[in-house]
Every structure is written in C-alpha cells, then in structure tokens.
Structure 1
Amino acid sequence: MHNGHMADGTRQIGLGLTRVEGRDKVTGRARYAADTVFDDLVYAVVVQSQIAHGTVTADSLRDSSARAAAAPGVLHVLTPLNCPVLQRLPTDLTFDLPLERRPPLSDLTVQHVGQHMALVVADSPENATYAASLFELDYERRPPQLSAEEVLTSPQPPDEKDGEIRHGSYLPDHFVKLDEEKLQDRRGAPTEPECSARVDAMYTTALNAHYPIELSATIAQWHGAELTIHDATRWLTGERAVLAAYLDLPESAVRVVSPLVGGAFGSKSFLWMHVVLCAVAAREIGRPVKLVMTRNQMFSSTGHRPRTRQRVRLVAQDDGALASIEHHTVTETSTVAHFCEPAGLSSRFLYQSPRLVVSHRVARINSPTPCFMRGPGEAPGLFALESAVDELAVELGVDPVALRIRNHASLDQASGKPWSGKHLLECYDIGAQRFGWDKRPLAPRSLSAGGIQVGWGMATATYPGRRMPAACSVTTAADGSVRFASATHEIGTGVRTAMGQIAADASGLSLSQLTFESGDSLFPDAPYSGASQTTATVGSAVFEAASQWAKRLVALVSADEQTPFYGSNRDEIAITGGEVVSRNHRGTLADVIAHGGQRYLDELSFTVSVDGGDQRDTVSQSFGAHFCEVEVDEEIGRAAVTRWVAVMDCGRVINPALARSQVMGGITFGVGMALLEQVPYDAHTAKLIGEYYVPTHADRPDFDITFIDEPDYALDPIGVRGIGEIGACGVAAAVANAIFHATGRRIRDLPITIEQLLTPDIATQES
C-alpha cells in the first residue's frame, strides 16, 4: 500500500524525524496566536461573575461600566446593557456539541461563577485590567445547584429563554455526531444472571482542568465587513462556522488563523464566549482587539472534564467468563450547553459478555460548560471498568492479565462487525514479558523495599480509530518546491512533520523539497484536531494529493515530446528523492518544471478532497496494555509511579519518536488524573480555592514504550490509527490497581489522596 513512484531508499514513513518547527519552539521564534503583531492594537479584559446563580442588577452594571469607562486609557466597555444582538446558534451546532445555546451578554441572568459579565477595552493590558477591577456588581441571588445529586433529588424549575437555559437531567442518545456510539445501550437477557463471582462498586472521578501551557488568546480584526480572528484553536473551520452564526455573517466573511497551538487537550476544540466578545468589541471600536485569558479565568471559561459517578456491576462464572456487564454513569453539564462524558462506551465492546447494560444521565448544574478532555469517556470510564475487572480477578483468585485474556472479544459486540485489526493479545504478551509480570505475586502487600510498599498493576487501553472528510491543496513553484496545505492544526503533536513524511513517500519528493502548512481557514477544509483522527483524516488527504501529484507529473513528462521521457511507459518512470528517473534518463524536478513552464505549474497545483473512508464492514479500534510499578510510603501517604511499560496497537506508526512522545505524554496525563488533579473549589459558593496540581518531571516514571506497528488499511490508505489519546486511557486504573497490590486498599475515588494512603493508625491520629 505505498505509492508506486516511491523507491525504498527514500522512504520517510517509519523514521523518527525531529519536528520541523522544533528549533523555532526551543529558540523562541515560534509564533502563537498571542504573538501576532498589529498596528493600532488595543487590549481587552473580561469581567466575570462571582456568584453561581442569580441575576445581576442593571444599576450595578451601569455604575460599574461608568467607573470603568472613566478610567485611564479605556476605549469601550461592553455589557449586557449595550452589547449588540448576537444570534442564537442553529440546533445542529448545539444539540450534541458543547457549544452554548445562549449568546454571551444576552441577558442579566448568571448561570455559573466565572460567567462573562462585561468586556473592558483599553490602550494597554494594564489599563484594561485596572478598569475591569472597578466593577462592583450586585446580584439578586438564586439558590444554585452545584452537583448532580442536588439536581436529581430536588424539584426543577422550568427551562428559560425558549430553551437557551435548561434545568434538570436527561438521558443523551449518542456521543457528539457519532450516532453509532450509543450512550444508552443493552444486549442479552433482561435480568442479571445468578453467578457466584460478582463485583458491584461505585467509582468517582474529579473535575479536571486541561491546564495547557499556552493561555487561550484571541486577536480580532475587521476589514470592512470581513473578520479575521487569530485564536488559540484546534477547529478552524468549526470556529469559522460558529462565529459566522453568532455574528450573522456568511462563513466566507470570516477567516480564522491559528499558526501553532501550545497545548490544548480538548480545551481549544470549540469556540468559547470570549472569542465572540473580542470580535464584537473590535467591530464596535474599529481597531484590532487582543484578549488573553488569565490562568484563573481558564478554569471557568475554556471547558473542563466534568465529574463522574460510575456504578460498575460485573458477574462472572467460576471459570472467569463474564456473564454480565453493567456500567451506569451520572455526570454533569452546564445549564446553557450539552456535554456528556461518555464513560461507558468502552464497556460496550472491550470484553466478551452475553449481557450488557450501559446508561448515561447528565445533570444540568450551575457550572461552566464542560467539554472534551484527553480520552473523553475512555479515561474516566476505563478507570472504573478496569478497576472493577481487577477487583473481579481478586475475587476469583486469578491473575489480572489471565482474566482479561479469558474474556477477550474477537469482534465488536456493539455492532457485530469484525475488527479491522486487533492485536490486543500481543500487547498483553509483550507487555507482560517486558515488565516481568510473571514474577508478580497474587497477594497484595507481598512486595516491599526499605519499609516502602511496592505494587504492580495493569489495565487495558482502548480508543476508537476515527476518520472524517478532509481536503488538501498542492501548489508547485517554479523552483521545484511543493507546498501541501490543509486547514488543520499543529497542536504540539508533530502534525506538520508527519504530514511531510506522508507527502514525501507518496510523491517521491525529498523532505527538503516540500512543506506542509496548516493553521489557516483559507486552506482547504479539515475537521477539528481531536478524537485522535488528524493523521488518519488529514493524512489521507495528503496521501491522495501527493499520489495525484506524482501521477500528474509522470503523465506530463511521458506525453511531452520535448522531454527525454517521451514515449516511455508510465510504469517505467519513477520520482525518487525529488528526481524524475526512467531506465535511461534522470532529471531534477526543477529542470523538468522549468522546461514545462506554466503549463506544468498549473497542472501540478490543485486541491483534492477525500471522504471519511468506508467503515461499513469493519470497526477500527486501537488497543493497548499498561503495566506499572508504584511505591507507597504509608507513613507520609505518598505514592510514586516508578516504572511503566506500555504496548500499543495503533496501526502503522508514521514517526516512532513522535508516537513515543505522545504515549509518554498520555501516561503522564493519566498519572496526574490518578494522583493529583482536581479543581479545588468551595462546595457552597463554587469559587476557586487552593491550587491545581499537575505532574512534573519529578513524577515521571521510567518508560518502556512499544508499538505493534501493524497497518490498518481498512481505515485509511496509509494504515494509521490515532495515538494522541490512547496513552491516557487505562492509566488511572493501572495506578489504582498497583496501589491495591502494594497496600491491599481498594481506592475507587480519584484523585488518590494522601489521606487514603496513610497507615490506619496515622490516618486516625491525623483525623
């Protein structure tokens, strides 16, 4: 499955090449959204609410706005009292995506702490910040509902503003636009079978923040009726559509530019309200407006992973064969947007079971809108499922790996289709060997060193192989250089590098002759950079564009009487290392194009579009196995992850260096979820308190990462599946399972805290 014009000696796929933008990043030359320079630039700061639910008084808004407007350097103050009317988004953008139904500054109600109440624009960031601090808002408070439990046990008020603001709870049907990923599902017998081995446990996960290094930043500039937005986003075309809808503009009048994204993990997948307000302010004052969110503001303004409460019930026969799986999730969203953390999706197919019941209930609370976060659904869901499977192994007295192998699913039970490629059993085998799993004693508290308890745990990883439609343009220059471009994003994963490798192999060009550009909505359309789909999605478009480019060039030279290749069989002409080669002739690309002139340049500059692939007959899913070692010092309640082995089945590996980095990053992400991360807030006021802890280099285990590297051509022509998210999936469970093995304590609530790990006598003294 590789291009016929490519010689093995020039193959780039499979090489661990360094990132094309790497040197710029480490030397400070890399340009992000906030680095864009404009003449006449002014600065905006958001004013946020300090209560969770109620109505702001119009008088306090007027008084505060007047004080701010009189402050030095202030150019404009935008509030609900003077904000131009913004349009309500169409239903197809809000009913199953976390885009807010209610436009910003469209009424006086407050739905959560941190809601945008005003925007102050001044001639400097300092003046804008000072003016915003002059706001003193009064509220008519209403009792907030701050948890799913409150919503599910209290009478609910009616919806407001024709459904823009909604209350109560609901049962969503499917995950985002993926109708086949059912959030309410069942198969098999209506009642649970009677078996002697069972686990019935409740697991909870905390509210997590994405916490990317790059703050969310936006610069809005108008050219007449046309808007250009420089934003930290990973969905250029989606943001263009949403901005056009809010502002009642044709999409052709909106351009979105995002040269590089400094981390996102889901937080920059969708347009947030500050971007709209920045555009409105720029139009009102006729100057470009820059807005950079503060770190604290991002906790309430750019999404988060919502809390989950998950009940898992496993029933197994004496030989370990699962007879029933139930996985019931309660999670939370805001009152102004839909989002469901799809924690039970993996339970539908991961293990063979004749009976399955999966449900999800979403409670609307007075909280900011949640959104995707690395491994949405899989990360919290596999914590519950894989912890429960570990508990079942203990109940049965069998090895956790052996139990998983016993219940291996040879096809996708949710659809009845075969997998396009599945090598999970090899992942278990290789991982166990590399870790030394055969030396693990079954009994907990069996391993220790120097008074420190040592535990070994493992878990299965899985994440869908996804692909969507995309397009790519090719532009050939007179010097023989070729530019490939698509409206995708470089979010720090090495997309430009991987796309260059794909283009080089499919075209026969050398890497020095081509570039891949992204980050501009003027380029051909591509979907959001999420769901671990960019390499399969945009890579398919790049592969098709590069393949067509090579075919077109061969057709040109073989039909051109003025070239030495005229009359040659096309199969005898190859493009290798950027040269055109036949049995008797060789020519540089620059010479060939110079000879062909504008006719060649026109024919070799075009755009291709590809669909989402034919996935009717098989299901593409990535799998993996995590094995980890933890050390627990029960005297101080400290858990340290010291060693990690991961084996991943993610299709073909384009760049092993980038892939390994992605998996290491995902594991580190999961370790943070397991041991550190929760947004601290006051349970009564919903205001932020304390600090948000994330893993550092000191928390990094020794990594051993392996890939099966077996292509999956059923998903795409290059045989890849995504790698960005599977590394985080199953990690929290592996850590919790290792802690059980070290201490004998089954911890079902994340994050695992010091208090949960202290020896019983010390914990009693502390309490």
Structure 2
Amino acid sequence: MNSARRTGQAVVRVEGRDKVTGRARYTADNVFDGLVYATVVQSQITSGTATADSLRESATRAATAPGVLHVLTPLNCPVLHRLPVEATFHLPMERRPPLSDLTVQHVGQHMAVVVADSPEHATYAASLFDLRYELRPAASDIDSVLANAQPPDEKDGEIRYGSYLPDHFVKLDEEKLQDRRGPQAEPDLAARVSAQYTTPLNAHYPIELSATIAQWHGTQLTVHDASRWLAGERAALAAYLGMAESEVRILSPLVGGAFGAKSFLWMHVALCAVAAREVERPVKLVLSRNQMFSSTGHRPRTRQQVTLVADDGGTLHSVEHHTLTETSTVAHFCEPAGLSSRILYQTPRLVVSHRVARINEPTPCFMRGPGEAPGLFALESAMDELAVELNMDPLDLRIRNHADVDQASGKPWSGKHLLDCYELGAQRFGWDKRPREPRSLSDSGIQLGWGMATATYPGRRMPASCSVATAADGSVQFASATHEIGTGVRTVMCQVAADAAGLSLSQVTFDSGDSLFPDAPYSGASQTTATVGSAVHAAATQWKDRLRALLRADETTPFNGTDEIQVIDGDVVSAGHRVSVAELIACGGQRYADELSFSASVDGGQQRDSVSQSFGAHFCEVEVDEEIGRAAVTRWVAVMDCGRVLNPALARNQVMGGITFGVGMALMEQVPYDARTSQLIGEYYVPTHADRPDFDITFIDEPDFALDPIGVRGIGEIGVCGVAAAVANAIFHATGRRIRDLPITVEQLMRER
C-alpha cells in the first residue's frame, strides 16, 4: 500500500531533453510578425550633462541611416513616472526614470534607443551618435566621497550624493546593518587579529544575455523578458508607464542564468516597451555582453575591517566587522557583508556597521550570495588568522566558538547541524592529516595547501500562490508565476506535487514563467523551493482532500461513504478497492474537473519561536606553482545542512555551481576598467571545466519543518558562501602568504627573486 516517494529521489530535469536538444526557447529565441529591433546608445563619461544640440544632431544622423524606424532620446521620450518609494528604498530599482533628463550619472548610462528593421541596422545607426558633454567632477570611489564635500541632491532626491548608514537589509528589519551588543570597550586579551579585506567589482556574467521583446495590443502590453520576478516587473513597468498592472503581462518561461542580473526590472526593459508603443510594432532588444556590465547590476566593491579578540584558550570575546561599500547616485543598495558576523560565532561583544557611498557608477544589486559571499571571505579569513595567532587548528577554533542559539534574536535555531558538517567534512577530506605549519606540503616543486571555512545563509520564505487545473484524462497541471532559472525548479515542484497529491510523476506538470499565473516572489535569496514549494504542497494536499470528498459523496463509485480513502501512485485505494484516478475523474465528468481546478495561497510562514538558517563546511586543497604564480584548486569537500533534500542530483549540482562561483571570486573575477575613465578594458575571467576541482558534496538531509511544510531550506546560494576564504586559507597554508584582497593574482603568488 505504501507509495514510492518522489521527493528525495534524483529525478531527471523535466525540461532537460529540450535544453540539450535545442528545443528550449529563451526570450531572444522568440520571433513575431512585424518584429523590429532596438539597441541602446550609452554614455562615455562618468559625470556631466549631454548637450541638447549634440543629441539632436546625433538623432538626426541615426534617423536617416538605412532601416531606422525611430530614435528615442531624452528630448522626445514620453514621460515615464517615478517608481513608488517602497520599490526604490528596499530594492535596487532606480529612482530616476530612464531618458528623463540630460544628466549623466555613469559610463554606460542609456542616452538613446534606436529602432530599426534589423539588429545590424540598429547597431550601425547607434554608432553614429557622437555626444558632447559638459563635464562635472565625478565621485569615483568610496574615498573620494568620504574625503570631499558633495553636491546637494537633485531632482527631488532622484539623484543623490554623499554617503549614508543604512539601517537594515532590504525589507528585512531584523537583519540589522548597524548592530552592537555587549560592552562598549574592546577587551584586552591574549589574542587579537585586526585586518582589512577587500573585494572588487564583480559581474554576474550569465550565459543568456538580457533580452526583451515588447508588444502592444491596444492598451495591453505583453513583455517577453529574461526576468526572475514576474510580479515585480509587472508592477514596476505599470508604474513607469502609468498603467494598471492588469494591462501588463510578463512572460519568462526559461531563464539562462541570472545570479542577480535578472532579478529586477532594468532600464532597457522600460525603454523597449516605450519604443514598441512609438513604432506600433513588436520590438526586440538584446543587450550585448559589454552593455550588460553597465546595464544589469553587479556586486559592488567592499572594504571590510574585521577585528577578533580571543582569550588564550581560543574563546572569542569580541567581533567587530565594519564595511564600506558603494551604490549609484540613482538607487539604494547596500552589500550587507557584516550580517554573518552577527550570528555565526558565539561572542559576548559584537559591533557591526555598514556605510554606503554614492558614486558615479552603475547601480549594483544582489549577486551570488549577497553579503554572505564577500562578508565570509573577510570573517573566515580572519578566523584562520586568529587560529595561527593562537597556534590552534582552524577547525578546532570554529568548533570552540559554535553558537548554539541565534545571538541576534536570542531564539533557538529551528534546526542546526553545523557541528555534524564539520565532523563529516573533516573525515571525508582527511583533515586530521593536515600539518599545522605553512609550506609543509609539496609535490615536485609545487606547494600544496589545505584550507577550510564555514558556510551560512538564511532560510527564507515569502507568500506565494499556486493554481491547479485538472483535465478529463486525470492529468493535473500546477502553475505559479515563478521561474525556471536552470536550477530545476519545475522538476522539484512536480516531485512535491506528486507526493502531496498521491499521483505519479507522469500525471503531474508544473508551469511557470507567466504573470497570468498566481503570484510568486522573485527567484532569489534561496527561497523559491521553500516559498513556491509550500504553495504547491498546499494546492496538492487540497486537491487530494477534494478528490476524496467527491468520492465519499458520489454514489456511483465504490468509495461512497468510505472514510478511509488513500490516493497512492495515481490510484484511489480503500479496503477491497483500487481504481485509477484517471478512470474516476473521467467517470465524474466536468463536475470533477471543475471541483479539482482551483488556486491555493500560503503566507510567509511566520517563525515566532525559532530562526531558520542553513550552514555548511568547506574543505579544499590547492596547488601553487610559485615559479609562474599559478594557483589551482584540485580537491573540494563540502557538507551542507540545508534542511530536507528534495532532489539530491539537483542539490549537488547547485552546490557544485556555487563552489565554482566562489573559486572564480577567489582567483579570477574582477571587472577590468580604467580607473580614470571607468571604461571597460581587458577580459572578465570566469572558471571553466578545466578549473573545477574534484567534488565531494554531502548533505546532512535533516528536515526543517519550522520554515515550511516540506522541510526545506534554500540551496541556491550557500554553496558560494565561504568558498573564497577556504581558497585563501589554503593558499596561506601552501605558501605562508596571507592574501586579503580578491582576486588572488599571479603577482601575489610568484616567488620573490
């Protein structure tokens, strides 16, 4: 009688065959009758004002180029409305509408849109722009903002200058960016480590370029976009255009990588919609790789000062973590690097602060473990330095300072198995064989090093909804306005739905990527499985309950009046009877199909008595060839405590991807630009298959039902958290060089002659 559970099994991706055979369609793959093409013209200066004459002259030249249909500039762009405060205060969406004035706030700012009958004609016409500017001093980095008097804000606060101290991270009031507890004075104890750590400007660099197709049908706007937040984009577009949200439809069934670049509505999307309305034809706009560096967000630079104080036994008595970071002059965003320091290690004294400087660079945003990824590089490197200072094993130091409760709230964890992660990871890696002294391991002239770090990321959940549509053949479609960004969301939702409803996987489908489906939040913050999964679970459970109620009341079935009815593997079962769901629904006709088609909603799962947080441990081996300054990560063991694992193959792939991101963050990634002009130079390097280590990924797999009814916490971002520190710590162990600035470069690793 027991059914085989689909959750917990390595089910193959439901869209996998389409992806590997090329049948999967992404935004830019769509073609419509009458489709025309747009490209953006970007500014070439960091700060100033474009002259109206040069805009008119350039627009006239472009308009007479072959195939050009329309040229949109600040001089003729229809008025776009300012977004509501709640959209721009909590999220990195820009206060100033695009093309709303002649000022230039950063290199790459959109100055015009050219629409033509082909991508080549649009690109050529855009190249005819030759803008002249009235230059003004630029705020290029944190130091220039803090050292110099800043001009007053402009346009009723749409453009702002100076620096500020944000109180909390996005809408999460409990995630304090300015925090203090314990004594005012730092204790005077045996061991003290204080150092500065820096991380550079990083780019998302997804495989799929950002693409948008806008099409009007009278007053109705349909937008195909590479987006990870259908409801948010619909609301922002409606606000910009002064429309009702019901008149806007967003479609994004498949997203080819995102990492933050596609979490919010960016300026090119609104301009594409305006251009389509002006030319009265569908318009496709695909950003180039270079344009994405300045048009779809990035991780801002951070400068972090971490101070740890411990007694001679290695017990922490004070943790300070101060972050300086940057945002643009037209949007709010803070890289929350100090959040992990508030909760990760037990300490009676804590001081955390964040200061954000507004500079003349594009708007930054969430990227690959925002806050935790750069913040844990600093904290976990400092912990390694403290272990050296105390002559302790780095793992022993972390175990000694394990936090049994959430220090920020005083509440217990809903489930924490970090000590198990440490133990299992150390065992699988062979950590007990690690010599304490740096430069103790080598092979044929190559230095070897072993390093480790702790990983952590919040368990989050938001409200979501799911619809159910039952067909006469017994197949059931679940749908929600969430997204398939390549992580296997549709697959896992099918598994959750099949288990909760008692159906086989072949009877269940899950559709997403359409704003006409019931609302879901953005696919970010490692919350989609917990959030949308809770809605799917609720809908599937309700579907099963409705089916059983129908059968009990139906005199034509053998289940009439029966209390004990089970739905197992697509069959309805009671004592002495087993009938397929498909047969029963077919017999029940339209009445059954109608009763079994509905929508269900769930709240954000308020946690009043405990705190959900994921944890993990990274252990890695590096090889360093000091003759040529080359570092390679050769072996990686990770053990993750992320609640219940619904699909171990997909979960392992996600963690492998996160670790690969972290290796890139540690050794390669930084946006190359001329510090004087802010123009891109050189290449942006990311890891390839040749750079991946041998992976050993394990999960504790203990459900966390305090967060959601399926017992999961997100896996999407914890994989990258702590990785850069583990690499840097391993390089110290290999070479004796303590490197505190990312990425770790050839010059830092070459043997001194």
TM-score normalized by the length of structure 1: 0.98
Which residue of 2 is the match for residue 690 of structure 1? Answer: 682
Instruction: State the alpha-carbon separation in 2 of the partners of residues 73 and 328 from structure 1.
Output: 54
Structure 2 residue matching 1:658: 3-state secondary structure: helix
* Residue 109 (str. 1) matches residue 107 (str. 2): no
What are the Cα deviations for residues 680-732 of structure 1, in whole angstroms up to 9, with x where unaligned? Answer: 00000000000000000000000000000000000000000000100000000
Secondary structure of the corresponding residue to residue 562 of structure 1: coil
Which whole-Å CA distance do the structure 1 matches of 2:88 and 2:709 have between them?
Answer: 33
The residue number in structure 2 matching 1:637 is: 629
CA contact (8 A) 1:10 1:508 kept: no
Name 1:49's counterpart in structure 2. 43
1:486 to 480, 505, 508: 480
Structure 2 matches for 1:643-682, cutoff 5 A? 643-682=635-674
Instruction: Report the equivalent of 2:114.
Output: 120
The amino acid of 1:179's aligned partner reads D
Which residue of 1 is the match for residue 566 of structure 2? 574
Instruction: Work out whether residues 166 and 355 of structure 2, in 8 Å CA contact, stay in contact via their aligned partners in 1.
Output: yes
Asked if residue 528 in structure 1 is aligned to residue 522 in structure 2, the reply is yes
The letter for the 1-side match of 2:728 is A
Cα distance in structure 2, aligned partners of 1:39 and 1:711: 50
Match of 2:275 in 1: 281
Matched with 2:694 is 702
- 1:546 Cα deviation from its structure 2 partner: 0.2
Q: Quick one: which amino acid aligns to residue 271 of structure 2?
A: L
Equivalent runs, 1:362-441 vs 2, <5 Å: 362-441=356-435
Deviation at residue 229 of structure 1 after TM alignment: 0.4
1:635-686 CA distance string (max 9 Å, x none): 0000000000000000000000000000000000000000000000000000
Aligned residues: 753
Shift of 1:591: 1.4
Relative to structure 2, which stretch is displaced further, 578-587 or 496-505?
578-587
Alpha-carbon distance between aligned partners in 2 of 1:437 and 1:665, rounded to the nearest angstrom: 24
Cα offset, 1:8, TM superposition: 4.0
Unmatched 5+ stretches in structure 2? none
Check conservation: 1:614, 1:714, Cα contact below 8 A: no
Contact 1:489 1:529 (C-alpha < 8 Å) held by counterparts:
yes
Which of 208, 222, 226 aligns to 1:228? It is 222
1:67 aligns with 2:61: yes
Q: 1:585 pairs with 574, 577, 601, which one?
A: 577
Q: Which amino acid aligns with 1:507?
A: A
**Alpha-carbon distance in 2 for matches of 1:86, 1:406:** 56
Q: Where does structure 1 differ by over 6 angstroms across 4 or more consecutive aligned residues?
A: none
In structure 1, the residue matched to 2:253 is 259
3-state secondary structure, aligned to 2:535:
helix
* Aligned mates of 1:274, 1:266 — CA distance in 2: 16
CA distance in 1 between counterparts of 2:6 and 2:374 reads 36
The C-alpha deviation readout for 1:320-349, integer Å capped at 9, x for no partner, is 000000000000000000000000000001
SS at match of 1:263: coil
What are the residue-to-residue correspondences of 1:69-84 with 2, within 5 Å? Answer: 69-84=63-78
Q: 2:307 & 2:586 partners in 1: Cα distance?
A: 70
Deviation at 1:544, TM superposition (A): 0.3
CA distance in 2, matches of 1:743, 1:66: 61
Tell whether 2:203 aligns with 1:209. yes
**Secondary structure at the residue paired with 1:10?**
coil
Question: Equivalent residues in 2 for 1:213-362 (5 A)?
Answer: 213-362=207-356
Q: Is the 8 A contact 2:2 2:568 kept in 1?
A: no
CA deviation profile, 1:202-239 (whole Å, cap 9, x unmatched): 00001000000000000000111111100000000000
Q: Secondary structure at the match of 2:719?
A: helix
| CA-to-aligned-CA distance 1:34-59 (integer Å, 9 cap, x gap) | 11121000000000000000000000
- The residue aligned with 1:615 is 607
Code of the aligned partner of 2:602: V
Q: Residue in 1 aligned with 2:745?
A: 753
The match for 1:96 is: 90
Cα RMSD, aligned residues only: 0.6
Residue 733 of structure 2 is aligned to residue 744 of structure 1: no
CA distance in 2, matches of 1:62, 1:618: 61
Map 1:555-570 to 2 at 5 A. 555-569=549-563
Q: Tell me the CA shift for residue 96 of structure 1.
A: 2.0
Q: Output the CA distance in 1 between the equivalents of 2:587 and 2:264.
A: 47
Question: Any gaps of 5 or more consecutive residues in structure 1?
Answer: 1-6, 762-767
Which shifted more, 572-581 or 398-407?
572-581
SS across alignment from 2:333: coil
Distance in 2, matches of 1:385 and 1:216, equals 34
Of 137, 151, 162, which residue of structure 2 is paired with 1:157?
151
Cα distance in 1 between the residues matched to 2:268 and 2:658: 29
Q: Distance in 2 between matches of 1:585 and 1:408?
A: 55
Residue 483 of structure 2: SS of its match in structure 1?
Answer: coil
User: Could you tell me which residue of structure 1 aligns to residue 706 of structure 2?
Assistant: 714
What is the rounded CA distance, in whole Å, between the counterparts of 2:741 and 2:50 in structure 1? Answer: 37
**C-alpha distance in structure 1 between counterparts of 2:583 and 2:206, whole Å:** 47
What is residue 79 of structure 2 aligned with on the other side?
85
Contact 2:473 2:582 survives alignment (8 Å):
yes
Per the TM alignment, residue 589 of structure 1 is displaced from its structure 2 partner at its CA by: 1.6
Partner of 1:464: 458
Shift of 1:70: 0.3
**SS of equivalent to 2:291:** helix
Q: Is the 8 A contact 1:10 1:510 kept in 2?
A: no
Aligned partner letter, 1:537: T
SS in 2 for 1:95: helix
Q: Secondary structure at the match of 2:491?
A: helix
Of 372-381 and 579-588, deviating more is: 579-588
Q: Distance in 2 between matches of 1:514 and 1:200?
A: 56
Residue in structure 2 matching 1:624, options 605, 612, 616: 616
The one-letter amino acid paired with 1:230 is H
**Which amino acid is 1:166 matched to?**
R
Tell me what 2:595 maps to. Answer: 603
Where does residue 22 of structure 1 map in the other structure? 16
For residues 680 and 701 of structure 2, the distance between their equivalents in structure 1, rounded to whole angstroms, comes to: 44
What is the identity, as a one-letter code, of the residue corresponding to 2:187? P
Asked if the contact 2:90–2:170 (Cα under 8 Å) also holds between the matched residues in 1, the reply is: yes
Q: In structure 2, what residue type is equivalent to 1:502? A: V
Secondary structure in 2 matching 1:738: helix
Amino acid at match of 2:666: A
Contact in 1 for aligned 2:478/2:510 (Cα 8 Å) = yes
Query: Contact 1:46–1:118 at 8 Å: present in 2 too?
Result: yes
Q: Whole-Å Cα distance in 2 between the matches of residues 278 and 9 of structure 1?
A: 50
Separation (CA, whole Å) in 1 of partners of 2:335 and 2:2: 45
1:594 to 581, 586, 592: 586
Aligned partner letter, 1:619: V
Displacement after TM superposition at 1:579 (Å): 1.2
CA separation in 2, counterparts of 1:593 and 1:690? 62
How far does residue 145 in structure 1 lie from its aligned partner after superposition? 1.1
Q: Deviations over 1:542-574 (max 9, x none)?
A: 0000000001001111111111111111xx211
SS of the aligned residue for 1:9 comes to: coil
Q: Distance in 2 between matches of 1:172 and 1:95?
A: 10
Select which of 505, 509, 528 maps to 2:503: 509
SS of 1:760 mapped into structure 2: coil
Q: Per the alignment, in what secondary structure is the counterpart of residue 416 of structure 2?
A: coil
The alpha-carbon deviation at position 171 of structure 1 amounts to 0.2
Secondary structure of 2:593's aligned partner = helix
**How far off its partner does 1:597 sit?**
1.2
